[in-house]
Amino acid sequence: MFRKLQLSLFVAAALVGSLGTVGAQAQDTLRFGIEAAYPPFESKSPSGQLQGFDVDVGNAVCTKLGVKCVWVENAFDGLIPALEARKFDVINSAMNITDKRKQSIEFTKPIYIVPIVMVARRGSGLLPDVKSLQGKRVGVLQGSSQEDFLKAHWANAGVTVVSYQDQDQVYADLIGGRLDAAVQEAQTAEDGFLGKPAGHEYAIVGKPLSDPATLGEGTGWGLRKTDKALVAKVDAALDALKKDGTLSSLSQKYFNRDIIAK
C-alpha cells in the first residue's frame, strides 16, 4: 500500500510539473493570427518575411511583455473561428472594432483609426453613394467591416457587391475592368495600390464612408472573451507604447502621419 501511495504521489507530482511547464511555455510566447495580404499593415517581403505596421506593433508589444512573438497566417474571414479554436491568442490583422464582432470576441482599446474610402478610375465620375453606383460592381475584402457596410447599405439598393478573399484580387479585377470601384481603408489604397504604377489611373473619390454600426470605432486586436487577464496585459503594453511614443513613431514610418487612437 505504501509503495502504491508513493507511486501515486510521484505520478501526481509529475503531472503537476508537466502542466507547469506547459503553462510557462504558453506565457513565453504570444501567438498572433494574421492575413499577410493587406499592405502597409501586413504583407510579405519578396523573401517571404512578414512585414508591415501591424507586425512592428506586435513585435513591440512582445518586447514590452518579455515574450516571443509567434505569427500564424490565416485567411481574414476565418480569423475569428481560428481564434476561438485556440489556433492563436490574438487577432492582429487590421480588424475594425464593431458591435457585431464584439458579440463573439473581446477587443483591446482602439489602436489606430483609418478612414474607409472608395477607389475608382480617374474621370469616371463615380462617388461612394447608391445613386452614383446604380448597376455598378464594387469590390471589397471578404469578412471585413467594409463588406458589412456595403451589404447593409448598398447591396439592396442596386449596387453589386463582390467579395474577395484577398485585397490584391480586388485591385486585379478593378484594373481588368471586372469592377467599377473598390472600398477599403485609405492607407491600404494609397500604399498598396494608388502609389504603385498599376494604380496611377485610379484615385480615392468622394468623402470617407461613415457608419459606426458596421465600420466600427477604430482598429484593435481581438482576443477570446475568456482571456480577460491577457486582454489587460496587452492593453497595458499598448498604452505604454502609446505614452512613450513608439506607436506614433511607427505610424510616421509607415504613413507619414499619426493615425494612433488617443
The whole-angstrom separation of Cα 181 and Cα 188 is 14
Beta bridge partners of 256: none
**What percentage of the chain has pLDDT greater than the value 70?**
90
| CA–CA distance, 161 with 129 (Å, rounded to integer) | 13
Q: What angle is formed at CA 184 by the lines to CA 181 and CA 188, rounded to 5 degrees? A: 115
Domain co-membership, 54 together with 92: yes
Same domain, 210 and 138: yes
The reply to whether 260 falls in a domain is no
Q: Is the pTM of this model over 0.85?
A: no
Arithmetic mean of pLDDT over the chain: 91
CATH number of the domain bearing residue 186? 3.40.190.10
Please name which of 60, 54, 64, 67 lies closest in space to residue 24, comparing C-alpha atoms. 67
**Integer Cα distance of 132 and 153 in angstroms:** 13
pLDDT-above-90 percentage for the chain: 87
Beta carbons of 194 and 202 less than 8 angstroms apart: yes
Is the pLDDT at 1 greater than 80? The verdict is no
Q: Is the pLDDT of residue 78 over 60?
A: yes
pLDDT at site 159: 99
Q: How does pLDDT run across 85-129, given as a tens digit for each residue? A: 999 999 999 999 999 999 999 999 999 999 999 999 999 999 999
Cα–Cα distance measured from residue 149 to residue 132, given in angstroms and rounded to the nearest whole number: 17
Three-class SS state of 254: helix
Condensed to tens digits (0 to 9), the pLDDT of residues 126-149 reads: 999 999 999 999 999 999 999 999
- Give how far Cα 19 sits from Cα of 16, 22, 24, 55, Å: 5, 5, 9, 31
- The mean pLDDT of 216-239, rounded to a whole number, is 98
Q: Both 66 and 192 in a single domain?
A: no
Query: Is the pLDDT reported for residue 216 higher than 50?
Result: yes
pLDDT of res. 68? 98
The pLDDT tens digits of the residues spanning 31-65 come to 999 999 999 999 999 999 999 999 999 999 999 99
User: How many domains are there within the chain?
Assistant: 2
What is the arithmetic mean of pLDDT over 203-221?
A: 95
Report the pLDDT value the prediction gives residue 26, as an integer from 0 to 100. 52
d(CA 186, CA 183): 9
Considering the domain architecture, whether residues 173 and 224 belong to the same structural domain is answered as no
Candidate from 11-20, 30-39, 97-106, 189-198 with smallest mean pLDDT: 11-20
Instruction: Tell me the residue range of the domain where 53 lies.
Output: 2-113+219-255
Do 227 and 209 sit in the same domain of this protein?
no
Same-domain status, 144 and 82: no
Is 108 in the same domain as 6? yes
DSSP letter at 56 equals H
pLDDT at 17 over 60: no
Question: For residue 188, how far is the Cα from the chain centroid?
Answer: 12
Q: Model confidence at 191, in pLDDT bands (50, 70, 90)? A: confident
Q: Measure the CA–CA gap between 221 and 109, rounded to whole angstroms.
A: 8
